Amino acid sequence: MFQKPKGTLDILPEETALWQSMEETIRKACENAGFNEIRIPTFELAGVYKRGVGATTDIVQKEMFTLYDKGDNVEMCLRPEGTAGVVRSVVENGLFNEALPLKLYYIGPFFRYEKPQAGRSREFYQFGTELFGAQSASADASVIALAADVLEKIGIDSELNINSIGCKECRPKYRKALCDYFESRKDELCDSCKERLKTNPLRILDCKSKVCKAVAENAPKTVDFLCEDCKTHFETLKTGLNLMNIKYTVNPKIVRGLDYYVRTVFEFVSDDIGAQSTVCGGGRYDGLVSELGGPDLCGIGFGMGLTRLVLALKAKEREGKISLPKAKAPKIYIASMGERAAQFALGMTEVLRKKGIYAECDLCERSLKAQMKYADKTGAKYVLVIGDNELDEGSAELKNMADKEDRRIIKLDEISDIIERI
């Protein structure tokens, strides 16, 4: 028997109602904030991510699924994140010539080669936003507000952590201080962080190793090395969040794991999954567009892991805190006895569906008893039983499945009008 590849997902019909409800909430929130949907390829030239995300990041070094074009032998990769691919599309299609700020969002599957565990899979679904062409801290606050709005409307309890990691002007001083600190404790670091010390010491702060976390506890803080412009930007961001009544904590340990971030970085964490976990993360990436061949256009965005949100919502339902959306039930099931009645039921079902009414009838040639069991299992609200006598008389009894006392005789040529009204 074949099984799905390790770390991938089967989203079954019993779950899709939740996914659809969550995606509808996301789309409405984005529409209200002026963001338009963009859909990018599932795979890209690997260079898009090597250059955009950073050649020394874990994503590029360890987590990308790579493949080769059979004709040109060009290295491709399944998209591991959304921002670099969206930036490539913005540059290639000249979207930077449109009215700014340019606001985009996406929903779709992404792929990283990781050890599968709760809330972390090799194929995962993500919602993300990208805002281009606005340098102000107000743009940062606006994007963060959208993330907070989506999480609240979906039903996730979360806390916002923010930080500033500076810019190309002030980061060199911080990098030197960080290198000096970690160099003095180099022997305590894991092998990966010893390499990071040579390439990108900032990422040691993001290491998951308990030992490295303990070493990083007393490391220099980014906010202590900010230039005046970065300080002003960060203080303005905090003012904006305060004005929008969005609670936050300044967390100097947040650096995010991608090389393109500058100044503002942020994360939303939640313990709805169990242990506290990041459900959304993002930040500013002012040099990424030009790095991928476009103009000097600033940007800010975030990515939100939908797979983790689903786990969190299911956990809350098990605890009795919420009730999740279920698959839609038929409004009416037309049970039939005999060939003439079955043909009538099939035709009437189609008439009702064309009017936007979810109707079902027998397709498996079941007995009437079996049809009634099936109707009950689907959660049908009403059942109409049709046989030869009903066809000859032109009327039948409509039963309310939730209230056994609610029964009425209706004319067969008035079925669609009556079902529309009730």
CATH code, domain carrying 164 = 3.30.930.10
Residues 155 and 61: beta-carbon distance below 8 Å: no
Q: Could you give the CA distance from residue 375 to residue 360 in angstroms, rounded to a whole number?
A: 8
Domain stops at, among 271, 291, 318: 318
Q: Could you give the CA distance from residue 412 to residue 157 in angstroms, rounded to a whole number?
A: 51
- Answer whether residue 182 is part of any domain: no
- Answer whether residue 178 is part of any domain: no
Buried b (16+ CB within 10 A) or exposed e, 126-136: bbbbbbbbbbe
Q: Could you give the CA distance from residue 247 to residue 371 in angstroms, rounded to a whole number?
A: 54
Closest CA to 124 of 382, 309, 305: 305
Q: Could you give the CA distance from residue 256 to residue 203 in angstroms, rounded to a whole number?
A: 8
pLDDT at 276 over 60: no
Which pair of tokens denotes residue 395?
A: 């009327």
Domain stops at, among 318, 345, 370: 318
Same domain, yes or no: 294 and 347: no
Same domain, yes or no: 258 and 357: no
92-101, 156-165, 254-263, 348-357: least confidently modelled range: 254-263
CA atoms within 13 A on the CB side of 202: 24
- CA of 229: how far to CAs of 166, 225, 238, 249, in Å? 9, 12, 14, 21
- Answer whether residue 180 is part of any domain: no
Same domain, yes or no: 311 and 342: no
Tell me whether strands 332-336 and 359-361 are parallel, antiparallel or unpaired: parallel
155-164, 208-217, 288-297: least confidently modelled range: 208-217
How many other C-beta atoms are found inside a 10 Å radius of the C-beta of residue 195?
A: 15
Same domain, yes or no: 162 and 279: yes
**186-237: per-residue pLDDT in tens?**
888 888 888 888 877 877 887 878 888 888 888 888 889 999 999 999 999 9
Which pair of tokens denotes residue 277?
A: 């976990």
Which pair of tokens denotes residue 39?
A: 């859909």
- Answer whether residue 7 is part of any domain: no
List the CATH number of the domain containing 355.
Answer: 3.40.50.800
Which pair of tokens denotes residue 317?
A: 């339902």
**Residue 297 main-chain phi, psi, to 5 deg:** -120, 125
Domain that holds residue 113: 13-170+226-318
**372-404: per-residue pLDDT in tens?**
999 999 999 999 999 989 999 999 999 999 887
Domain stops at, among 295, 318, 341: 318
Same domain, yes or no: 288 and 354: no
Same domain, yes or no: 306 and 342: no
**321-341: per-residue pLDDT in tens?**
888 888 899 999 999 999 999
Same domain, yes or no: 164 and 254: yes
**Based on the number of CB atoms within 10 Å of its own CB, is 36 exposed (0-12), middle (13-18) or buried (19 or more)?**
exposed
**Based on the number of CB atoms within 10 Å of its own CB, is 226 exposed (0-12), middle (13-18) or buried (19 or more)?**
buried
- Answer whether residue 184 is part of any domain: no
pTM for the model:
0.87
Closest CA to 301 of 52, 90, 129: 129
Relative orientation angle of helices 228-243 and 137-154, to the nearest 10 degrees: 40
Length of the chain: 422
- Answer whether residue 21 is part of any domain: yes
Same domain, yes or no: 33 and 159: yes
